[in-house]
Chain A
Amino acid sequence: MNGAGRAFLRLLSVQGSWNYERMQGIGMGFAAEPLLDDLRTTEPGRYPEAVVRSAEFFNANPYLAGLALGASARAEYDAVPGEQIVRLRAALAGPLGALGDSLFWAGILPALSGLALAALALGAGWWVVALFVLAFNAVRLATASWALSTGLASGMRVGGALGASKLPRAATRSGAAAAFAVGVGTPMAAAWLLHPFGARGVASAVLIAGAGLGLARWSGARFTATRFGLLALGITLLLRLVTA
């Protein structure tokens, strides 16, 4: 089977056609095309069905989607019955979504973001931002490459390969690291930005932050950060206008 390199590049845009109909399905089909090319000549009868299956409903973390892509493509070449391949994709979507989201969105990304904010507060310059981008992409590309090659090598046995990998443990650890890093970075960044305003400015900001945390606890996820930010700015502006 050829085309792994092109499939990897296409996976970078796996969410490019994200929609409420098939979610990442079309993106997966787009990434599968180079992998399925050889099937056109080796098994021309099976090829159209394989193409149709490759673009069916799918949703997972984009950086781990390669596991499902590679495993499905391998299964097509191994002449696994189509219904089993559909079931494999469906079975992989949930775990790949949960694991990848824990690892990247709730782990590595906030951890690096918190560290970058802390470093900026300590006086680091723009290079910290460059380091943030480089570090995230190094981990993300390495993981995505591993995912695709593992899927291609494992086929229908991909579940075992995923379970035996270091990803579940990494997700747990990165979550703790993210909590610590955001905990460190937030007050440091706030101190960096509030220092010109003196004790009164800091006290006002702490009051607003406390109100925000209380509101978030009371209202749950309904009261978003954007809404609270705009509300805090609106009330501040109003108070200034009234007291001027």
Chain B
Amino acid sequence: MTGADGFTLLLLLLWGALAGIDLVSVPQAMFSRPLVAGTVAGALLGDVGAGLRVGAVLELFALDVLPVGAVRYPDYGAAAVGAAAIAAGSPWELGLGVAVGIGLLLSAVGGWSLLALRRLNADAVGRHAAALRSGEPSVIRRLHLASIARDVVRSLLLAGLALGVAGVTLRWVRLDRGTAAALTIAAVGAAAASALGGAARGAGTGSRRRWLAAGGAVGTVLGVLVWGLL
């Protein structure tokens, strides 16, 4: 993000906000998935590769939890934008770990903000309980649109926070190469554990567990062969 002009920052802010409202409100088209949010943010910053890698690691973390209605889950959209902003423009081997760490923190903040939004929405419904009993559709319409507007504000604030934290990180955090590389390795290891742990939990003990094991074996062999890890 270092050296990004005002227009690029505005685009990142808007993209982060869109990713935020996409998570629950509208249109739930998976722009909020970290793989998508991170890649687009990387492209906006002129470093698609960094966005793809940040997005891929955060996507592995996101596979741990299913975004089911009432469940409390992290909001990775704006977090991936902020993380991509940290990683862009520097050697990814050194920037990925810090970027993912900040991304995880931001995703937790996003999750808390979602809870607060839901409470605000519930308060609004409670205040309009009598009007809702009148059978006038304009009451429902106003309540619904006001809730979406609240999510737009939440998402804009979250995207602004993500970019602000990215700026502070780039300005103040200085790590030696060894530490930066160690953080990247730790981030990838933890991400892999999250994805496999979530998949194992979701697979239960039946045939899905066997499909997961088979996939793991195929993926390990392919990964080793393609990237020559041995």
Which chain A residues border B170 with CB–CB below 8 Å?
A: none
Which residues of B approach A to under 8 Å, CB–CB?
24-31, 33, 35-36, 39, 43, 48, 52-53, 55-57, 59-70, 74, 93, 96-97, 100-101, 104-105, 107-108, 111, 118-119, 121-122, 124-126, 132-137, 140-141, 143-148, 151, 176, 178-179, 181-203, 207-209, 211-220, 222-224, 226-230
CB distance A182 to B195 under 8 Å?
yes
Known: A48-B135, A52-B135. A190 touches B188 (CB 8 A): yes
**Contacts A186-B195, A195-B229 known; 6 new A-B pairs at CB < 8 A:** A15-B26, A19-B118, A97-B68, A175-B203, A186-B219, A197-B181
Report the bound CA distance from A51 to B48 in whole Å. Answer: 48
Q: Mark A225-241, 1 if CB is under 8 A from B, else 0.
A: 11011101101110111
From A117, A133, A182, name the one whose CB has the most chain B CB atoms within 10 angstroms.
A182
Report the bound CA distance from A15 to B122 in whole Å. Answer: 13
Which chain B residues border A164 with CB–CB below 8 Å?
A: none
Which chain A residues border B207 with CB–CB below 8 Å?
A: 176
CB distance B125 to A182 under 8 Å?
no
CB distance B24 to A232 under 8 Å?
no
CB distance A237 to B179 under 8 Å?
yes
CB distance A212 to B136 under 8 Å?
no
B194 to chain A, nearest CB (A): 3
B14 to chain A, nearest CB (A): 17
CB distance B199 to A229 under 8 Å?
no
CB distance B199 to A225 under 8 Å?
no
Interface membership of A118, Cβ < 8 A: yes
The listed residue (B133, B144, B200) touching A52 by CB distance below 8 A is B133
Which chain B residues border A67 with CB–CB below 8 Å?
A: none
Known: A21-B126, A22-B125, A191-B226. A229 touches B194 (CB 8 A): yes
Report the bound CA distance from A117 to B222 in whole Å. Answer: 13
A91 to chain B, nearest CB (A): 17
Pick the 7 closest A-B CB pairs, nearest first: A183-B215, A48-B135, A212-B193, A191-B223, A208-B189, A225-B194, A225-B64
Tally chain A residues at the interface, Cβ within 8 Å: 107
From A49, A197, A225, A236, name the one whose CB has the most chain B CB atoms within 10 angstroms.
A225
Chain A contact residues: helix, strand, loop or mixed? helix
The 23 sampled A-B contact pairs (Cβ below 8 Å) are A13-B144, A19-B121, A62-B69, A114-B63, A120-B56, A122-B226, A125-B52, A137-B30, A140-B28, A182-B63, A182-B212, A183-B216, A186-B63, A188-B223, A190-B188, A193-B57, A208-B186, A208-B189, A221-B201, A229-B61, A233-B186, A233-B190, A240-B182
CB distance A126 to B215 under 8 Å?
no
Report the bound CA distance from A66 to B135 in whole Å. Answer: 21
Known: A55-B132, A106-B202. A193 touches B229 (CB 8 A): no
Which chain B residues border A13 with CB–CB below 8 Å?
A: 25-27, 144, 148
B24 to chain A, nearest CB (A): 5
CB distance B147 to A211 under 8 Å?
no
Interface membership of A213, Cβ < 8 A: yes
Known: A197-B93, A232-B186. A15 touches B24 (CB 8 A): yes
